[in-house]
A and B are shown apart, each in its own frame.
Chain A
Amino acid sequence: MLKSLYINPEKCTGCLQCEMACSYELEQVFNPAHSRIKVFTFHDAGRFVPYTCTQCDEAWCLKACPVEAIVINAATGAKEILNDRCVGCKVCTISCPFGTVNYNSASGKVIKCDLCGGNPQCASACPTGAITYIDSDATGLERMRNWAEKINTQYAA
């Protein structure tokens, strides 16, 4: 059974532990700017929304890559960047309609959530249970997919 990140914004307090944990896991520094998960703040509503890649089935990033540098991890279902293949062309960053693949000018490559190989550190670090890593069925993945379907342009046969 594949697992997914389940994000419940109602429980988020905006502490940014997830961003710190992500940055440390993937870049070995505590710097939210390097995090693959991002907490958006809605001041007027007093609301925080953590947001990252949903590992969507459509995988626009993967399909748009001209050099096959984005592959699916068979164990986790994550779409992962192969750093030694990525040339840094950034086509995936405009193809992803969720805005969750980003260019890192320091490395000259793109970055995205890879579910930490099946042990996502953002979920481990979250003190309020706003981010959990649970069976895909329960995550509202369908809701995401339905939305994705709205802009789906292909493969519907």
Chain B
Amino acid sequence: MKHIIIGTGPAGVVAAETLRKRQPEADITLIGGEPEPPYSRMAIPYYLIGKVGEDGTHLRPAAQHFDHLKIHLLRQHVTRLDVATKTLSLDNQQSLSFDKLLLATGSYPTRPPIPGMDLAGVVNCWTLADARKIAAGANKGDEVVLMGAGFIGCIILEALALRGVKLTVVEMEDRMVPRMMDEKSGTLLKKWCEAKGVRVLTSTRVKGVSEEKIFAAPANSAPASSGGFFSRLFKPKPAVMAEAAPTPSGKLIVELDGQAPLKVDLVICATGVRPNIDLAKGILETKHGILVNERLQTSAADIYAAGDVAEGKDFSTGKYSVQAIQPTAVDHGALAAINMTGGHNALNRGTINMNVLDTMGLISSSFGLWQGIDGGESATLEDLNRYKYINLQFQDDYLVGANTLGMTQHIGVLRGLIQSRTRLGAWKQKLMHDPTRIMEAYLARNTG
């Protein structure tokens, strides 16, 4: 049996390991396009603050881990997928055939359609290569603009602050992490960042980025190349031209709507990511991501998809959607591998959407249907001065979603309560009165 996995993130790596466990003799190839051992994007913020070195981001620290498992790691870009012949074309003109294929190609960072996004001083924060650029370009005293206060933007704020840069965050929406936190907590997060000296502009768009150009120094300091071999080969340009043409100063001008433009050294673009469905487009069924069934199988029988790229089943809604989160990637990877190797009872019963975020030391979390549901009830408790907040969302007498801010103890039980569909009974009223008693509610309803 010949298995190929495209993508070396958590979904791909867990799938490869699970395949190996189930089929000791199978031929397993794991293909990745980046020039590093499989690593975790989750660890990048901690690399940026110097808490770990690059090797601290590796998904599997053990040397030769993949060799020992006889998982063939291939560093190539896959350029084409042919479903009929079950072959892949690679960048190096080779082609590979497979019996079963897993697409775990993850997401790619998007940039808004505005001028200047192709300039060298505009970087993403997605890959380890991006992180190296940020580490090199964001130093003490530098002016930096962070476009986007979503999950990725927020999680690197601390790293940027610790690097001593002068930071401005620009977010289109009216609060921070609008796709993870409700209005109250997203607004509190903004206040927290501002109190820490970060300028946060919400409901603000970047209209464009351009290079600042300044006029070169006067003629008497000009062309040192007035002699020499090459100047004799090429007709020298008239000196007056050199004086008149402005040259880039190394600074970038960031145009904002409704605000004065900013002059900065670096622009970090963290405006969002999209499923990387290029290989599947027009070949497999896709919407936002690649469509899969409960077996993580795509519209082609021997091709599976997992992780950020797959539209898998959501526990809370029962519908299929992209959840670009680590726990879902791991679950998908394992489930897909079981199904690729003939597993019968390994159906995706739905993964729960959840997230935890550390924004300059303020910890926020979200679970399930944190926005609430029609006809549902909610309970919130806030202590704005201490940056603490909790929001619970109920349907009948069970919990369907939650947000927390400033809480670090026992928050996992929110997942437990939601995903076990624990009937809260009398504890629902107690939680409506004091939503912080989640652990007690869980214990009271689950222990004898």
* Interface positions of A (Cβ within 8 A of B): 9, 38, 40, 42, 49, 51, 60, 63-64, 66-68, 85, 87-105, 108, 147, 150-151, 153-157
Contact = CB atoms under 8 A, between A and B. Distances in A.
Contacts of A87: 42-43, 46, 51-52, 56-57
B358 A90 contact: yes
Interface string B122-153: 00000000000000000000000000000000
A85 B327 CA distance: 18
Contact of B327 (A51, A67, A95): A95
Contacts of B330: 63-64
B204 to A, nearest CB: 29
A88 B420 CA distance: 27
Contacts of B268: none
Contact of A94 (B51, B344, B348, B356): B356
B362 to A, nearest CB: 10
B412 A99 contact: yes
A157 B344 contact: yes
Nearest to A89: B42
Given A49-B447, A88-B46, A40 B440 contact: yes
Nearest to B47: A87
B59 A102 contact: no
A103 B409 CA distance: 7
Interface residues of B, number: 57
B29 interface: no
A95 B40 CA distance: 17
Given A63-B330, A151-B419, A95 B412 contact: yes
A154 B420 contact: no
B247 to A, nearest CB: 42
Nearest to B61: A68
B222 interface: no
A157 B408 CA distance: 34
Given A95-B415, A151-B416, A151-B420, A100 B410 contact: yes
Contacts of B59: 66-68
Given A40-B443, A87-B56, A89-B42, A98 B416 contact: yes
Nearest to B419: A151
Contacts of A68: 59-61
A67 B410 contact: no
Interface stretch (B66-74, B211-219, B331-339): B331-339
Interface in B316-346: 326-327, 330-331, 334-335, 338, 343-346
A97 B446 CA distance: 12
A9 B43 contact: no
Given A42-B440, A42-B444, A96-B412, A103 B363 contact: yes
B1 to A, nearest CB: 16
A86 B40 CA distance: 12
B413 A85 contact: no
Contact of B349 (A40, A51, A85, A153): A153
Given A66-B40, A87-B43, A150-B420, A98 B411 contact: no
Given A155-B334, A155-B346, A85 B56 contact: yes
B43 A99 contact: no
B356 to A, nearest CB: 4
Contact of B420 (A49, A90, A97, A155): A97
A96 to B, nearest CB: 4
Q: Max chain A CB contacts within 10 Å: which of B354, B355, B416, B438?
A: B416
B69 to A, nearest CB: 14
A85 B315 CA distance: 31
Contacts of A150: 420
Contacts of A89: 42-43, 46, 356
B365 interface: yes
Contacts of B413: 97-99
B164 interface: no
A94 B43 contact: no
A91 to B, nearest CB: 5
B267 to A, nearest CB: 26
B192 interface: no
Nearest to B62: A68
